[in-house]
Structure formats: C-alpha cells, structure tokens
Amino acid sequence: MSSPDKPILKVAPCSHEAAKYAVENWHYSRTMPKSKLVKFGIWEGDVFVGCIIYGVGATSDLVKAYGLKMEEGCELVRIALKQHQHAVSRMVAISIRLLRKHSPGLRLCVSFADPDQGHHGGVYQAGGWIHNGHSAASDEYIYKGKRWQGRSFRNNYKGMERHPEVTIVKGSSKHRYLFPLDEAMKRKIEPLRKPYPKRAGSSSVEHSDSIGEVGGSIPTPALKSITVE
C-alpha cells in the first residue's frame, strides 16, 4: 500500500519519445541506447517522473557466461528519473514483473553500476540482486567535451574512433548485478553471489538519479500496467 502522503505509483509501457525525453533530461549519459529496447514509464499520480529501459546490452556475450543464449538475457540499460517520492528499487521490481509478461523467454537480467558516477548499486542491493563482481574496463571516448561509453560512441559516431579530435580513455570497471527471472536460473547463479560493495563518496543511484527539475512528459496510454496503491 502507498503511504497516504505519497501519490499512487504507476509503472507501464511508454512511448519511445517519452523515454527519450527522460533519458536526455534526467540520466547522466543524456543518450538513448540504440539497441532493441523495452521501455517502462514511471508515474506518481498523473505526473510522469521518468522511465526504466531494458535492452540487449552492450555485448552479445552479456549472458553467455551463465550458459544462456543472447535472446535469453537482457540488460537494464537506463534508470532515468526526475525527483520522485517512491523508492527506485520498488519501481525496478515492478518493471521486472512487467518485463516477465512482455518477454516470457527471458531468464536473466544484468545491470551495471558505475563507480565513476558515484554508484555502487544501492538500488540493486535493495532489490536483492546478486552482485557478481566487476566488468572488465573498456575504452571510452571524449569528443567535443563529452565522455561517451564505447558502444554508445560507436553507434553515434561510426568510424570516428581514431579521429584527431577524439580522445580515447580507459573506462572504469563497473559493479555487475544479476537478477534471475525463473527459479532454475536463481538456483544456478546464487552460488556466484559476492559481498555487496559499500557506497563510497557520493550517493548511490537510488538518490543520485533524481536529477533535473524540468517539466515531465505527457503520460502515454498504458498497455500493461501495474498500479500500486
């Protein structure tokens, strides 16, 4: 049940335009992923406060290490929110319930928390995700004063990796989190669980993704939604 002083929380599929608005205004990357995506909007009352986006991930080997085919896994690629009242971990949990209905063949969801952004994965820890160590550090790119993750840069500026105005830097090693989507997968990956990392320095995603104060997008009609009262 929602607290009497909080608006009703609603999670439902949203349009690409609404998700893009949220990412460009309320996510630190300011860039929309280019892969095939499943997008869930977040509303508090009638106010659109952001979105949670799932995609195929940055590499085709995302879930190979867990004995899965590419189409059996996905990555939580964006949590883009303005200021909100409900816990992000709750929003993510509801979106996963919808994801299971939307894509019944999925067995595992992966997400990463970037220490360079002050994130240690507090949202995932609150949701009981399995911490599975760290990703390998990969090349990132600085172009026109903006730092890009490798795949995002290559999607937006194909063939410019060696351009003289582009600086290549070593990216951070990110915390990797796993969320099994069926009981058999849960039993399989539970032994891979490692101790949760502690928050260092700045705040976690649970708080730090509440950036921006620009007006919200107009809510889009729900296809399959969960409303928590």
Rounded mean pLDDT of 149-154? 66
pLDDT band of 23, cuts 50, 70, 90: very high
Which among 50, 38, 52 is positioned nearest to 100, based on CA atoms?
38
Rounded mean pLDDT of 6-18? 95
Please check whether residue 1 lies inside any domain of the structure: no
Does 155 share its domain with 177?
A: no
Does 179 share its domain with 190?
A: yes
Give the pLDDT score at 97. Answer: 95
Range of the domain at 147: 138-171
Which one has a higher pLDDT value, 58 or 11? 11
Rounded mean pLDDT of 96-120? 88
Indicate if the pLDDT at residue 11 is higher than 50: yes
Among 29-43, 125-139, 206-220, the range of highest mean pLDDT: 29-43
Please check whether residue 107 lies inside any domain of the structure: yes
Rounded mean pLDDT of 25-32? 90
Please check whether residue 76 lies inside any domain of the structure: yes
Does 158 share its domain with 181?
A: no
Q: What are phi and psi of 184, to 5 degrees?
A: -65, -40
Does 35 share its domain with 88?
A: yes
The string of pLDDT tens digits covering residues 164-216 is: 878 877 666 789 999 999 999 999 999 999 999 887 654 333 333 333 323 33
| Rounded-to-10 torsion of CA 167, 173, 201, 95 | 110
Please check whether residue 144 lies inside any domain of the structure: yes
Does 64 share its domain with 146?
A: no
Give the pLDDT score at 210. Answer: 33
Mean pLDDT for the chain overall: 81
User: What does pTM read for this prediction?
Assistant: 0.76
- Residue ending a domain, among 171, 189, 216, is 171
Does 145 share its domain with 48?
A: no
Give the pLDDT score at 216. Answer: 34
Does 68 share its domain with 146?
A: no
Indicate if the pLDDT at residue 76 is higher than 90: yes
Please check whether residue 33 lies inside any domain of the structure: yes
The string of pLDDT tens digits covering residues 39-73 is: 999 999 999 999 999 998 666 788 999 999 999 99
Does 192 share its domain with 124?
A: yes
First-last CA distance in the chain: 5
Q: What is the CATH number of the domain that holds 189?
A: 3.40.630.30
Specify the number of domains making up the chain: 2
Please check whether residue 91 lies inside any domain of the structure: yes
Residue 22's identity, in one-letter code, is A
Please check whether residue 206 lies inside any domain of the structure: yes
Does 103 share its domain with 151?
A: no
Please check whether residue 109 lies inside any domain of the structure: yes
Rounded mean pLDDT of 152-165? 76
Indicate if the pLDDT at residue 223 is higher than 50: no
CB 157 within 8 A of CB 93: no
Does 159 share its domain with 187?
A: no
